[in-house]
Amino acid sequence: MEDNRNDRLVACFCRQCGLTNNGFQMVTARVREYHEDRSLREYTFNRFSHNVSAIVANIEANTQSETGSPISLSPDANMDIDIGDFIIDDAPAPAPSPDAVSSHRLVPFNNEDEVFAVDDDEFVNGELNDNEVINAEDLEFGNDGDIENDVANHDQGTYLDPLPATTPEIYTYQHPLILVVIFLVLFQLHFVSEHLSSIIINFCIVLLQDIYPTASIPTSLATLRRITGFSTLTDSLRKYVSCPRCHSLFLLADPNCPRTCTNDDIRYPNSCQNVLFRTIGNHWKPVKEYSYQPLSSSITRLFMRPSFEAKIEEWRSRSRVADTFYDVFDGDMWREFADRDGHQFVAELQQLLLTLNVDWFGPFENSTYSCGAIYLTVNNLPRSERFKTENVILVGVMPGPREASTSDINHYLRPMVDELLGWYNGKRIVTAEHPDGVRVRLALLNVACDIPAARKVSGFTSHASRCGCHKCHRQFSVFPGTTNLDYSGFDIDNWISRTMEDNREHAEQWRHAETMAERRERERQNGIRWSELHRLQYFDPVRCTIVDPMHNLFLGTAKRMTKVWLSRGFITDTDLQHMQVLTDGILLPPDYVSLKRKIVSGQGFSYMTADDWKSWCIVYSPVVLHGHLERRYLENWLKFVDACRLMVKPSITIDEIQEAATLIHQFCTGVESLYGAEEITPNMHLHMHLDVMIEDFGPLYAYWLFSFERYNGYLKEIDTNQKDSFEATFMKRFLQKTGARDFVRSFEAPN
> pLDDT value at position 64?
43
Nearest to 511 by CA among 474, 459, 454: 459
> pLDDT value at position 226?
84
Nearest to 381 by CA among 298, 296, 310: 310
Q: What predicted TM-score, i.e. pTM, was given to this entire model?
A: 0.75
Q: Are 181 and 194 in contact (CB under 8 A)?
A: no
Q: Averaged over 80-107, what is the pLDDT? A: 36
Q: Are 241 and 278 in contact (CB under 8 A)?
A: no
| Percent of the chain whose pLDDT exceeds 90 | 55
> pLDDT value at position 724?
67
> pLDDT value at position 45?
46
Give the strand pairing for 427-429 and 438-447: antiparallel
Nearest to 291 by CA among 214, 445, 365, 398: 398
Q: Are 534 and 541 in contact (CB under 8 A)?
A: yes
> Sign (positive/negative) of CA torsion 697, 699, 705, 707?
negative
pLDDT in tens, 550-574: 999 999 999 999 999 999 999 999 9
**Where do the structural domains in the chain lie, given as residue ranges?**
6-230, 290-471+511-546+736-745, 549-702
> pLDDT value at position 149?
33
Nearest to 26 by CA among 4, 5, 9, 7: 9
> pLDDT value at position 199?
82
What is the spatial distance between Cα 162 and Cα 165, in angstroms, rounded to a whole number?
Answer: 9
Q: Are 419 and 429 in contact (CB under 8 A)?
A: no
What is the spatial distance between Cα 709 and Cα 173, in angstroms, rounded to a whole number?
Answer: 42
Other CB atoms within 10 A of residue 78 CB:
19
What is the spatial distance between Cα 611 and Cα 614, in angstroms, rounded to a whole number?
Answer: 5
If you compute the radius of gyration of the chain from its CA atoms, what whole number of angstroms results? 31
Helix, strand or coil, per DSSP, at residue 355: strand
What is the spatial distance between Cα 588 and Cα 583, in angstroms, rounded to a whole number?
Answer: 10
- pLDDT class of 740 with cuts at 50, 70, 90: confident
Q: Averaged over 287-312, what is the pLDDT? A: 95
- pLDDT class of 207 with cuts at 50, 70, 90: confident
Contacts of residue 221, defined as CB under 8 A and 6 or more positions apart, other chains included, come to: 139, 140, 185, 188, 194, 197, 198, 201
> pLDDT value at position 175?
58
**H helical segments located in 155-220:** 177-191, 194-211
- pLDDT class of 11 with cuts at 50, 70, 90: confident
CA distances from 447 to 297, 506, 653 (A): 22, 20, 24
Q: Are 380 and 315 in contact (CB under 8 A)?
A: yes
| Statement: residue 193 has pLDDT above 80 | no
> pLDDT value at position 72?
33
